[in-house]
Amino acid sequence: IPRQDYDYLLENGVAAVFGPGTNVLDAANAVIDLLEGKRRNV
């Protein structure tokens, strides 16, 4: 997903965008937090 599209996606309901180079453990923890209702727009 192109970086310039992140804001649009987040503003339109996407809970998180994980771009290239995202640490897998950080992404997994963010997904768990989202599922538990702890985060918005990571």
Give domain status of residue 11, yes or no: yes
pLDDT at position 37, please? 85
**Structural domain total, the chain:** 1
Give domain status of residue 29, yes or no: yes
Give domain status of residue 26, yes or no: yes
Give domain status of residue 9, yes or no: yes
Give domain status of residue 16, yes or no: yes
* Domain ranges, residue 29: 3-35
Give domain status of residue 41, yes or no: no
Give domain status of residue 31, yes or no: yes
SS3 2: coil
Give domain status of residue 40, yes or no: no
Q: What is the pLDDT of residues 11-42, one digit of tens each?
A: 999 999 999 999 999 999 999 999 988 765 55
| Burial (Cβ within 10 Å: 0-12, 13-18, ≥19) of residue 18 | middle
**Does the model's pTM come out above 0.95?**
no
